[in-house]
Structure 1
Amino acid sequence: MPLRHRRRLFAGTALTIAALLSSFATVPAAAAEPDPVSAGLIARYALDETSGRTAANTAPGSTIGAGVVEGTPQWDAVSGGFVFSGGQNGGGNAIRLPNDINRGLTSISVDFDVWIAPEQANYYMIYAIGNRAQSGAGERYLFGSGDSFHTVITPGGSSQEINIQPPGNPTLARGVWKHMTYTQTGTTGILYEDGVERTRNTAVTTTPNDLGSTVFNYLGRSVYAWDPSFHGKLRDFRIYNRALTAAEVGTLSTDVLAEATALDAAAIDLGDLSAVTQPLALPNRGANATTITWTTSNAAVVTAAGQVTRGAEGTAPATATLTATVVRGGQTTQRAFSVTVSPRDDAADARSAVQAISIPRLDDIRENITLPTRSAAATVSWTSSSPAVIAVDGVVTRPANGADAASVTLTATARVGTATATREFSAIVVPAPAADETRAYLFPYFTGEASPEDEKVRYALSNGNNALDWVTINDDKPVLQSELGEKGLRDPFVMRSHEGDRFYMLATDLNAYRTGLDGSQIFGSRYIEVWESTDLVTWSEQRHVLVSDAEAGNTWAPEAYYDDKRGEYVVYWASNLYPSGSADVPRDPGSNYNRMMYATTRDFVTFSKPQVWIDDQQPGAGNGTIDSTVMAENGWLYRFTVTEGSNIPRVDRTKNLTSTITPSTNPWKGARGSEWEPRQSGVGYGQTYTGTSGRSIFFDEGEGTSLFRPNKGDVNGDGGVYAFIDQAPYYGGDGYVPFKASSLEAGDWKIAQNRNLPRSARHGTVLPITISEYEAILARYQPDRLISADDVTAAVLPGTVPVLPATVAAVQGRGTASERDLGPTAVTWETVDPASLVAGKTVTVRGTLAGHGFVEARIDVADVAVTVATRCVAKKVVLVAQVRNGESVPATARITTPFGTRTIEVAPGAGSSVAFTTRSGSIAAGDVGVEVSPAGGATATGKVGFAAATC
């Protein structure tokens, strides 16, 4: 590719490109040329200095002065330009330009190269020519920004802004050099990206000269005091006193585009091409926003799509040349790759395929697993040393609770042609967990997009067993953040696994603080973020999982539900789907809309291909459906989904979770063919409540529904079902609003007015948890709040309800600097069902301390049966107490009656009796007190009644 020196390339960049191109293209020598677009140039800040605080204006004959660095100077000698550090509220470094740089300009062009840091916070100005009022608000200004990609001019304040912005509010790509140009003459303002017109506004009635005197002119700083500063790089910043032509803009963009294509061509890495046996992954996009296409010299060996055809076994290797054409704008770089394709070797391929198989968590299997049936070119079959534990289709049956873990050997056989290879996998299947009822709640959520800390996961815990009373923990700081993708987390969904002893967290990969929400449905993330845990405290490494196809513009609010019929999880999310997956094809979110999508998985590692779940276009431009969540009731699966036309949940139900709704089968529009049955629209609409801000709020919009059933013993009652719905600030609310209904079928939703929810909680999940989980979370994240007390023990006879202590000695924050002895603390014990006190069993009873702490009572029920009968001896009533000892040790029984007390010894597995003479011919009904002390065990107490008798 001939690289003409049209504008001044920065020294480091020019040398780098020349070195790269010399390895795969001829670069003819070029004499230095004069600036090709110099007419009307009144200011040129090349920003190619290497030190100092001055940015020289090198425009020939210009009387406009130099720029002055405020803050720490940072010059980039490699790629050229000035490095802006960014900062909140106008902090960080910047370059101040001379005052009145706009004076006399009835026409203007602003042209520059820009590299926006991925960490850039919104909303910011790359450059600003204008003024700042004493209030900190901007006034009379012209600026350009990349989020959204636009230019603004105003003769006054924000209410008079004239916007030059492409449709769909796209953003300028981050982490890559881009060329941005704005031209204005007459009433026409045109915005260019990389030399190509993106939009124009023919009603621009304010000229730069109309701004009057401007004394707040900056590169890298906004005219608004509260805006973040620019974070990134600028180079070759130019101002003209005329509107550049489209051809001139194209010329000025050449260097950026040539640099990008050269860098991306050099960065292509196809691996070792000397003995290819598998299809080649040929990239179609480069890191510098380039498009890459491929051609081949011999499609019979390797196609332009990377498919290879191997010769028969024993034949010679075949060769072909693949050529990559890397394009951005009007610039192109080509690079050739010589490929040698090895002939078939089925035995080697089978060995390679079986070695490539990976099964997650083999040493800790708790659920069904995925056993792949294909690996590379091989088909794979499986055998199991214990099919009753792990079947060949991956279905897992765990050992019973208390049993030993099961060791299973899985054998994979990979077959290519007639050749096979085997490999053994040693698996450990852990026993099923003990059943434990939930007695508290966890609420993971995020808080918005106003700061870098908002799009991280925070925890709130219920105050004891109370779904309507919450407290934030970890001192209201995040407990989990993203290190991958967009590095922002929204919509955290946490679920307990089907087996009960693993948790999965899914979250949206979106950082609206940095990029805003406008562009996130165009070329937003196609990934979901996944973690797993066994205790809700220690989480696995983050998994950045691609689930959406290239046609998707976003992947929002992922959730999952375990489908018993399929034996796997159905994961669902919202995606705006476009006609093309190519990043070079413009997208208009106003003409497309969100569909609910789904895929299936057993392990949240391997996912099926995404399918459309709900395709229901709503009234209004770009409106579809988002934020589905599912709950079962009486054999039905109920689904809450937000319709974007009204921004409020609706409810439908089915008995087939993966049944779809299409435009032709939409039951909400009277069509037939779908297995979903409409139930309710506008959940909660029209009710009012007092928000966390104290104001009265009308509920008419909400999203991010979290469904859950109250725990047994919840202080608000343990019947019905809750729906927490997020009425976000952009819907006029303060956050989550709790609704309760008697059942999903009834749908009689009413706002729970008496509540205390975490302030600013946005789109999260309410998860019922056990006491041990609750205490583990507090111990890790807020130990100063944890109330602890020694467990209470008691021993009783079968069917005898113990008298538990009304108070226990409790401590708050044990082991912390704020440890506090609470002294005797009142306990509210759960009611004990006498029928649960079965001989030989241990029953746990929970008590609540100080409203949000817990204590447990362990009740050991003795395996001793005592009966009392009456008989007549010489016309006198005699009481006879029969004691049968089912324990494995001797027991001492002390029997206390109105007629005396006797103690007897009872051998293990034997019975004994004792008689009491009443000396009366008749007695009234009464009780016999019993104390039984098994050898080495606690004394069990109880009472046994006897009937009235007459002799």
Structure 2
Amino acid sequence: MSRRTFTLLPALAAAATAAGQIPTPAWAANTAYVFAYFTETPNQSGADYGLHIAVSQDGLNWKPLNQNNAVVRPTAGTLGLRDPFLLRKQDGTFVVLATDLNGTDFGQNNQYLHVWDSVDLTSFTGYRRIRMHDLATHTWAPTAFWDAARGQYGIVYSANNGSDVFLVNYTSDFRTVSAPQVYFSPGFNVLDGDIVVDGGVYYFFYKNLGNGLIYGARSSTGAPNSYTTYTSGLRQGSSMEAPMLVKNNAGTGWWLWGDSFSPVNNDYYLWNSTNVGGNAWAVADQRTYTPPLNAKHGSIAGITAAEYNGLVSRWGLPAWVRLKSSNFPDRYVRHANNVGRIDAYPFDPHQDQLWKMVPGLADAAGVSFESVNLPGRYLRHYNYAIRLDASDGTAAFRGDATFYRVPGLADSSWSSFRSYNFPDRYLRHSNYLLRIDTLTSATYQDGTFRVV
């Protein structure tokens, strides 16, 4: 299945580039976003090393597709992938590149990348592995970009040639590649790059392994060894990696995502900037964004409205929801030992936070929350405390388990849930435990949640 070929740069493509015949980038018409990733959880019970995808209309809050199951899996090499990268090619179709690694054995050497073609991400064809080099090292975290001067795509990835560097191979078809060469080696060990071309400037964000910070470099040509680092180091939390640089579809601003180094921490962090060429990145309020469930080290690409609708139609939206706390936005409503509470994500079993929001058991105009991993059990109040119980079929239980969804008390774009049988009381958290209480303006945030 693998194929190793090193080819010369095509003069014809370079000539077309020089003549200004390169088509307009397809993302110019995009109105939505797609996120490719694999999954892990703290105890690895939710680990899945296939290709997962999620969609978003605002680029910040994500809906996993296919019930957060993989949409395609490698059939050669290690039979698993990490670090999938989506690239919109010059013809408007997609290519998917990924690390050939199944699990967390980072000590193994592998010279290959997984590759798929896709017209619109509703199907994946032409699976192959391409050999990138002959070194006794890894081939991790690919990113790719269109090099207009060469009239080819550059595939950049992390490897070790005595130190941790970025290598590049050039290709026209993601089947045959040029010989590898050093792309970026700043004199210290580096990992996990992402390249975005904007206005003729090549922006390259990467991790400095020495201090664990994310930096941005730029180049006017995108040529190997042409980058100059221009930002200060960035980090949220105790450790992070895998920067993802995304220009919003409106063309008015930028997002910089960073993946936590370990699945036991918050999975993604985010910064905003209106000027990618500057050195001013603001930490995003975690209330404003929600990564895909259990997502790790992925990539984001713009898609059209038709592609968004096609993806939803093909793969389906989740049959479950999560409830995100307004004033503790890293915490989600879950059950633990049959008690309702909010806990910081991620945790295991991760399914404890998944709910089927069904018509209210006492009034179909309301809602009830049925556990996904303990079907037949519902959140209900008992002496005002929320717990997870199996329905006993009584009117009292149905009333205890029914809530009316109303505009959020602290934020009308979010939601609050008023008790059916105690209409002056709302679902809220107190010391991270759930209960129903009467609320005042001082406690409105305790009773406000985002349904994601």
Larger mean CA deviation between 740-749 and 557-566 belongs to 740-749
User: 1:681 aligned to 2:232?
Assistant: yes
How far 1:747 sits from its partner (Å)? 2.8
Out of 252, 255, 258, the residue aligned to residue 722 of structure 1 is 255
Q: How does 1:368-447 map to 2 (within 5 A)?
A: 393=12, 437-447=29-39
How far 1:656 sits from its partner (Å)? 2.2
Judged with a 3 Å threshold, the aligned counterparts in structure 2 of structure 1 residues 395 and 443 are, in CA distance, closer, same or farther, namely: same
Aligned match of 1:492? 84
Aligned match of 2:192? 627
Judged with a 3 Å threshold, the aligned counterparts in structure 2 of structure 1 residues 763 and 719 are, in CA distance, closer, same or farther, namely: same
Aligned match of 1:508? 99
Taking the aligned partners of 2:113 and 2:227, their CA distance within structure 1 comes to: 26
Judged with a 3 Å threshold, the aligned counterparts in structure 2 of structure 1 residues 452 and 772 are, in CA distance, closer, same or farther, namely: same
User: 1:768 aligned to 2:302?
Assistant: yes
Judged with a 3 Å threshold, the aligned counterparts in structure 2 of structure 1 residues 631 and 772 are, in CA distance, closer, same or farther, namely: same
How far 1:372 sits from its partner (Å)? 7.4
Q: How does 1:910-949 map to 2 (within 5 A)?
A: none
How far 1:451 sits from its partner (Å)? 5.1
Taking the aligned partners of 1:699 and 1:506, their CA distance within structure 2 comes to: 28
TM-score, normalised via structure 2 length: 0.62
Aligned match of 2:400? none
Instruction: Tell me the alpha carbon deviations over residues 819-852 of structure 1, each in whole angstroms, 9 at most, x when there is no partner.
Output: xxxxxxxxxxxxxxxxxxxxxxxxxxxxxxxx9x
Q: How does 1:735-746 map to 2 (within 5 A)?
A: 735-746=267-278
Q: How does 1:337-736 map to 2 (within 5 A)?
A: 393=12, 437-448=29-40, 450=44, 453-462=47-56, 465-499=57-91, 501-513=92-104, 516-517=105-106, 519-520=107-108, 524-549=109-134, 551-577=135-161, 592-618=162-188, 624-660=189-225, 675-683=226-234, 685=235, 698-712=236-250, 719-729=252-262, 733-736=265-268
Q: How does 1:115-264 map to 2 (within 5 A)?
A: none
How far 1:628 sits from its partner (Å)? 1.1
Judged with a 3 Å threshold, the aligned counterparts in structure 2 of structure 1 residues 395 and 781 are, in CA distance, closer, same or farther, namely: same
Structure 1 stretches of 5 or more lacking a match?
1-357, 359-369, 374-390, 399-430, 578-591, 619-623, 661-674, 686-697, 713-717, 786-817, 819-850, 852-951
Judged with a 3 Å threshold, the aligned counterparts in structure 2 of structure 1 residues 394 and 630 are, in CA distance, closer, same or farther, namely: closer
Judge conservation of contact 1:735–1:759 (CA < 8 Å) in 2: no
Judge conservation of contact 1:720–1:740 (CA < 8 Å) in 2: yes
Judged with a 3 Å threshold, the aligned counterparts in structure 2 of structure 1 residues 784 and 491 are, in CA distance, closer, same or farther, namely: closer
Amino acid at match of 2:314: R
Taking the aligned partners of 1:371 and 1:608, their CA distance within structure 2 comes to: 5
Judge conservation of contact 1:633–1:744 (CA < 8 Å) in 2: no
Amino acid at match of 1:781: W
Structure 2 counterpart SS, 1:762: strand
Amino acid at match of 1:745: G
Taking the aligned partners of 2:165 and 2:147, their CA distance within structure 1 comes to: 21
Judged with a 3 Å threshold, the aligned counterparts in structure 2 of structure 1 residues 534 and 748 are, in CA distance, closer, same or farther, namely: same
Amino acid at match of 1:504: V
Structure 2 counterpart SS, 1:485: coil
Judged with a 3 Å threshold, the aligned counterparts in structure 2 of structure 1 residues 433 and 733 are, in CA distance, closer, same or farther, namely: closer
Taking the aligned partners of 2:179 and 2:158, their CA distance within structure 1 comes to: 15
Taking the aligned partners of 2:280 and 2:186, their CA distance within structure 1 comes to: 25
Judge conservation of contact 2:68–2:293 (CA < 8 Å) in 1: no
How far 1:432 sits from its partner (Å)? 9.4
Judged with a 3 Å threshold, the aligned counterparts in structure 2 of structure 1 residues 747 and 435 are, in CA distance, closer, same or farther, namely: closer
Taking the aligned partners of 1:504 and 1:494, their CA distance within structure 2 comes to: 6
How far 1:479 sits from its partner (Å)? 0.9
Aligned match of 2:422? none
Taking the aligned partners of 2:27 and 2:207, their CA distance within structure 1 comes to: 35
Structure 1 counterpart SS, 2:310: helix
Amino acid at match of 1:653: R
Judge conservation of contact 1:486–1:525 (CA < 8 Å) in 2: no
How far 1:615 sits from its partner (Å)? 2.6
Percent identity reads 28
Alignment: residue pair count: 309
Aligned match of 2:279? 747
Q: How does 1:879-890 map to 2 (within 5 A)?
A: none
Taking the aligned partners of 1:555 and 1:636, their CA distance within structure 2 comes to: 26
Judged with a 3 Å threshold, the aligned counterparts in structure 2 of structure 1 residues 616 and 548 are, in CA distance, closer, same or farther, namely: same
List structure 1 segments (4+ residues) > 3 angstroms apart after TM superposition. Answer: 370-373, 394-398, 431-436
Structure 2 counterpart SS, 1:729: coil
Taking the aligned partners of 1:652 and 1:545, their CA distance within structure 2 comes to: 28
Taking the aligned partners of 1:616 and 1:439, their CA distance within structure 2 comes to: 37
Judge conservation of contact 1:727–1:733 (CA < 8 Å) in 2: yes
Judged with a 3 Å threshold, the aligned counterparts in structure 2 of structure 1 residues 703 and 394 are, in CA distance, closer, same or farther, namely: same
Instruction: Tell me the alpha carbon deviations over residues 741-790 of structure 1, each in whole angstroms, 9 at most, x when there is no partner.
Output: 111112311222122222321110111110110011111100688xxxxx
Taking the aligned partners of 1:720 and 1:746, their CA distance within structure 2 comes to: 12
Q: How does 1:39-188 map to 2 (within 5 A)?
A: none
Taking the aligned partners of 1:615 and 1:437, their CA distance within structure 2 comes to: 35
Taking the aligned partners of 1:784 and 1:453, their CA distance within structure 2 comes to: 18
Judged with a 3 Å threshold, the aligned counterparts in structure 2 of structure 1 residues 748 and 700 are, in CA distance, closer, same or farther, namely: farther
Structure 2 stretches of 5 or more lacking a match?
18-22, 320-357, 359-412, 414-452
Taking the aligned partners of 1:742 and 1:432, their CA distance within structure 2 comes to: 23
Out of 309, 315, 331, the residue aligned to residue 781 of structure 1 is 315
Amino acid at match of 1:455: Y
Taking the aligned partners of 2:169 and 2:116, their CA distance within structure 1 comes to: 17
Structure 2 counterpart SS, 1:733: coil
Structure 2 counterpart SS, 1:775: helix
Judge conservation of contact 2:16–2:151 (CA < 8 Å) in 1: no
Taking the aligned partners of 2:214 and 2:26, their CA distance within structure 1 comes to: 36
Structure 2 counterpart SS, 1:475: helix
Structure 2 counterpart SS, 1:478: coil
Instruction: Tell me the alpha carbon deviations over residues 520-551 of structure 1, each in whole angstroms, 9 at most, x when there is no partner.
Output: 3xxx11100111111111111311111022x2
Taking the aligned partners of 1:484 and 1:726, their CA distance within structure 2 comes to: 27
Amino acid at match of 1:508: T
How far 1:437 sits from its partner (Å)? 1.6
Amino acid at match of 2:260: Q
Amino acid at match of 1:682: G
Judge conservation of contact 1:653–1:678 (CA < 8 Å) in 2: yes
Which of 1 and 2 has higher RCO (CA within 8 Å, sep 6+)? 2
How far 1:453 sits from its partner (Å)? 4.9
Amino acid at match of 2:31: R
Taking the aligned partners of 1:434 and 1:652, their CA distance within structure 2 comes to: 25
Taking the aligned partners of 2:118 and 2:15, their CA distance within structure 1 comes to: 19
Judged with a 3 Å threshold, the aligned counterparts in structure 2 of structure 1 residues 474 and 739 are, in CA distance, closer, same or farther, namely: same
Taking the aligned partners of 2:25 and 2:159, their CA distance within structure 1 comes to: 37
Judge conservation of contact 1:728–1:762 (CA < 8 Å) in 2: no
